[in-house]
Structure 1
């Protein structure tokens, strides 16, 4: 008996030596995942380390970073549990102080302020004059003094600094929040959250009613961070700041800029109707200014100018409250202006009679603009119309005389230009109709000659296969010279040229599409073949294009199914199992003939299994939590639920192993533990924990003093798991020596 125990102790000693390399490797893998911010993977590896190597040399660090991984995953209660283990089990380790602070941080994130204060106070009281105590005191001050404007005395991590600022803002402590957001910008100017922090500084000013100070901060968010997601909100807020300051024109311009630069902004909907309100206020102010200017001009004796301004006010701002007063003042000015208007009209009439048209026009216009409501304004308008008629008739007569002279002298082109000028400039004069008749006579002669030239040019294009140019010339004849004898020949020429061009274009289009196809630019090739098919029906190239389109469609179908398959795989690699499953299902439904269909079916089966594993993992985590806290009955209950509902999941063997640990460690029920561990070996013979389970079966037999069964179990361990730590190397040699020695002892 003593000999057996001695040999077993030696075996365990060398087992620990053999295990030394494995925990180091597992710890390194976990740290690598944590450093890469893959906190979910890191958490799983840290948990695995604690299961396999509960006495490992790095267990304190592993326990701490298990809590840190949970914290980064926003699993704050799990983080508290993990950090509590560090504080309770390793109180002398320096990490215990950091763990106590992180317990406070976790409670704070859960909104449990009282418990957070207690956690920080423990650090401040037990470890004064340390950096951790300074952090704890800072956090206590922040939680206890919501009205205190604090500045960090220590360099906080970005997420901690940002959280402090956000929490102050959420409590509407805008002065404090502004300080914290500014501290963030000062400490982390290039951080990805810097644009958000700048916006929030402006928001704090806005909520404090300091709109003039808010504007430059919103503008910095626009100019300093051109790619940030808050730019439309910054522009929107600038408009509101100007509105609050009473600067309505700037507010309106800011909102217009929002609509111009961010046409899809969700903030535009809230501005419906506001722009009209601002415009109304602006118009009211403009009406007031116009009324005041009219009043000033009236007082200075500028009655005509005052009259114009009041009329403008009434016409442009009819809803203004100044309109009634303006109408009264307008009537006063009107009665005072008539004598001046009469004097000007007499002067203008005299100039008109003397054919001084320019002088008369100037005075008539002054009457109309300066005294629009007097009876002389209407007379002046009639006189102006009469002057225009007289001037038109006079100028038309001069041009007619020149045109007639050109005809007499045989200068028909010059005559045609003169007649055309009369038609265009003076169509209402007595010479307008006569000029059109003369012009048409001359035009017919020129048109026939021009039509002949164009027809010959079109025939030349047709012979040289320049079909488009030929069609253009034929169409010019039809449009420009509709009475020419070349109209019918031109129409026939168009039909012939279009037929030839149609065939040629179909050929060229097909050749272009075929070249894209040869270069494997299938998108462009498909577009070009489609153009040939739709644009040139009835040609031989349309049939060829149809066959090519069918071929490309097959290529696209294969490519689309490949894209869906790759998307599903990417979702799988990112851990988005639901999306991955849906994409694989879409591939099977939409592309049943795809080469990826079989792989998609297999992947869906695998994903279904992994989704089950996630549920199993939650049960396993709860069981481990109960087990760590010594609640073995609850732990066993969670493990048994997992084994019953998800017996084929990834976590089933781990649950079986941990459940058996509860019988062994918690209840010292070695008979039950032996049976359960043996059940695990039989159920999961190839699992990584099975060699360890079989080893513990032998250990249970020894506890029960059933030496023959212990020996048989160790023998089975060596034989069935020759590649494990128990089957090769120094540890295997000691096991075999133990078995030989035990056998000899039994003979004795």
Structure 2
């Protein structure tokens, strides 16, 4: 019997709540709507509260209730996880009611909404960049606020998210064996985030990229790349002493020096062969030049002989031999 009575009481309560909500949604009485809306807000029924608050701005315009409606609406959207909308509403509140004692809280909540709207690092980070800007704006406007310490922590967290995304993007080049692109991209990460906590890991992958690029390089670029990689290994050892990364740098540095010594032998042999080949080419060119010079001399002599013969033939034609003289007997 008690069970049925409890169910009956619960049904009556639910029915009365539903009836009150329906009445408020159909009512034109701002005081009644506001009362029910605030009750729903207090009971954390955000969807019901928002439905009622949305009916109130025109009804309470010009009254003292307007700021409260705007403030509660923003908070209801925040708790309902409508972060973008809530952020805009908090920002509008701070702008519309500059004298309201809740202005700082509204500015803080606006920045916090942008923070909550930041997506995971592997997704689009435009919201994260906007959140950092909004949080920084709060710090600039309220540098002495008790909330500033929390804001600073949030900025650091979001900045790290951007750093990690850039780090993972650059790492993909390394995984694909695009070592030159990996080194350049990681250098860009260090330039964009000079205070990054990922610097040791970035140094490590840049060094490994330079190592792979050097030892597998073509002949013409190998010496330069070996020297560059070896210098970077020394840099990592110096900047990260007594760490796992310095140990890796020392190991790779030793391998690079050994590779440099081997390549120096190859390079010397190549230079020797190159010099011998150039000498042969030069000797062959000299012989070919002698042949051409001798042929030119013969050709010149032949031309001169031909010219002399032509001159003689021309002289005979221009000076014919005298005709024979006949003698008659007397």
TM-score in terms of structure 2 length: 0.50
1:542-691 residue pairs with structure 2 within 5 A? none
Which residue of 1 is the match for residue 157 of structure 2? Answer: 277
Which residue of 2 is the match for residue 463 of structure 1? Answer: none
Distance across 1 between alignment mates of 2:132 and 2:96: 24
Distance across 2 between alignment mates of 1:168 and 1:294: 55
1:319 is aligned, of 184, 198, 204, to: 198
User: 1:235, 1:254 within 8 Å by CA — same for their partners in 2?
Assistant: no
User: 2:215, 2:222 within 8 Å by CA — same for their partners in 1?
Assistant: no
SS at match of 1:372: helix
Show structure 2 runs of 5+ residues with no match: 1-12, 120-126, 235-330
| Cα distance change on mapping 1:144 and 1:163 into 2, 3 Å | closer
Report whether the alignment pairs 1:372 with 2:228.
yes
Distance across 2 between alignment mates of 1:235 and 1:223: 9
Report whether the alignment pairs 1:307 with 2:163.
no
Which residue of 2 is the match for residue 248 of structure 1? Answer: 128
| Cα distance change on mapping 1:319 and 1:213 into 2, 3 Å | same
How big is the shift at 1:176? 1.7
Report whether the alignment pairs 1:144 with 2:17.
yes
Which residue of 1 is the match for residue 138 of structure 2? Answer: 258
SS at match of 1:307: helix
Report whether the alignment pairs 1:213 with 2:85.
yes
Report whether the alignment pairs 1:162 with 2:18.
no
Which residue of 2 is the match for residue 192 of structure 1? Answer: 64
| Cα distance change on mapping 1:147 and 1:319 into 2, 3 Å | farther
Report whether the alignment pairs 1:181 with 2:53.
yes
| Cα distance change on mapping 1:320 and 1:148 into 2, 3 Å | farther
Report whether the alignment pairs 1:233 with 2:111.
no
SS at match of 2:228: coil
Report whether the alignment pairs 1:289 with 2:180.
no
User: 1:181, 1:197 within 8 Å by CA — same for their partners in 2?
Assistant: yes
Distance across 2 between alignment mates of 1:243 and 1:214: 12
Count matched residues.
Answer: 208
Which residue of 2 is the match for residue 416 of structure 1? Answer: none
SS at match of 1:229: coil
RMSD of aligned Cα (Å): 3.9
Which residue of 1 is the match for residue 283 of structure 2? Answer: none
Show structure 1 runs of 5+ residues with no match: 1-139, 344-366, 379-748
Distance across 1 between alignment mates of 2:19 and 2:104: 32
| Cα distance change on mapping 1:336 and 1:291 into 2, 3 Å | same
User: 2:21, 2:36 within 8 Å by CA — same for their partners in 1?
Assistant: no
| Cα distance change on mapping 1:184 and 1:264 into 2, 3 Å | farther
| Cα distance change on mapping 1:257 and 1:312 into 2, 3 Å | closer
| Cα distance change on mapping 1:306 and 1:279 into 2, 3 Å | closer
How big is the shift at 1:373? 2.6
User: 2:50, 2:76 within 8 Å by CA — same for their partners in 1?
Assistant: yes
Distance across 2 between alignment mates of 1:295 and 1:189: 60
User: 1:218, 1:237 within 8 Å by CA — same for their partners in 2?
Assistant: yes
1:115-149 Cα distance to aligned partner (Å, 9 max, x none): xxxxxxxxxxxxxxxxxxxxxxxxx9996338945
User: 2:180, 2:210 within 8 Å by CA — same for their partners in 1?
Assistant: no
1:456-535 residue pairs with structure 2 within 5 A? none
How big is the shift at 1:333? 1.2
| Cα distance change on mapping 1:371 and 1:209 into 2, 3 Å | farther
User: 2:183, 2:206 within 8 Å by CA — same for their partners in 1?
Assistant: no
| Cα distance change on mapping 1:257 and 1:293 into 2, 3 Å | farther
Which residue of 2 is the match for residue 336 of structure 1? Answer: 216
Distance across 2 between alignment mates of 1:256 and 1:142: 48
Distance across 2 between alignment mates of 1:166 and 1:248: 33
Distance across 2 between alignment mates of 1:272 and 1:311: 26
Distance across 1 between alignment mates of 2:88 and 2:113: 10
Distance across 1 between alignment mates of 2:23 and 2:40: 11
| Cα distance change on mapping 1:325 and 1:229 into 2, 3 Å | same
User: 1:310, 1:330 within 8 Å by CA — same for their partners in 2?
Assistant: no
